[in-house]
Amino acid sequence: RDRVRHFPDFPVPGVLFRDISPLLKDPVAFRTLIDLLEDHVRSSFPKIDFIAGECLDSRGFLIGPPLAQRLGIGFVPIRKKGKLPGPTESVSYALEYGKAELEIQTDAVEPGQKVVIVDDLLATGGTMRAACELLKRLKAEIVECLVVIELKPLKGLEKLNSIPFYSLLQYD
């Protein structure tokens, strides 16, 4: 919690941005973050196939690959539309301050494979819900959505339609 900075009115007025940059630049804090996520996943899910990371921006992307590497499994990127080569599935969704579109490569996972979706933050839940929709279209089994920070007042958890969810830090 000490490694999360707060920026009011970013990126638009009325938004209180939670910045994990200090956590990422502190090697002990970042290692501790990955340790905590690894411990949680290992104790909760003895068998998963992939970590899927929402790569709409770089923060979620920076957490998923090291976690997947620690677990000895692959990482599947979910990106902004137009950033992945080959055949893709895409979905549009609303952000807390705009609209966006995410996509995944159609061969990213096989039907029935177990996936944990990782991101840095859950706010209104639009991005996480879109990632879940993409993986469901590929018939993956989403075993959990995992984030570093949950902004509880924005009620993003409600959009996950009872998919198991875990957050390390919660802000009211």
Preceding amide of 65 cis, omega within 30 = no
pLDDT digits (tens, 9 = 90+) for 68-111: 999 999 999 999 899 999 999 999 987 666 788 999 999 999 99
- Could you give the angle at the alpha carbon of 40 between the alpha carbons of 171 and 156, nearest 5°? 35
146 inside domain? yes
157 inside domain? yes
* Catalytic-residue membership of 59: yes
pLDDT digits (tens, 9 = 90+) for 3-20: 999 999 998 898 899 999
pLDDT number for residue 145: 96
Paired tokens of 47: 């068998």
Paired tokens of 92: 């549009």
* Catalytic-residue membership of 42: no
Q: Which of 59, 79, 129, 144 is catalytic?
A: 59
Residue range(s) defining the domain that contains residue 102: 48-170
CA dist 119 → 14, 52, 54, 103 (Å)? 22, 9, 6, 15
Q: Which of 38, 89, 96, 101 is catalytic?
A: 96
CATH number at 53 reads 3.40.50.2020
126 inside domain? yes
pLDDT number for residue 96: 61
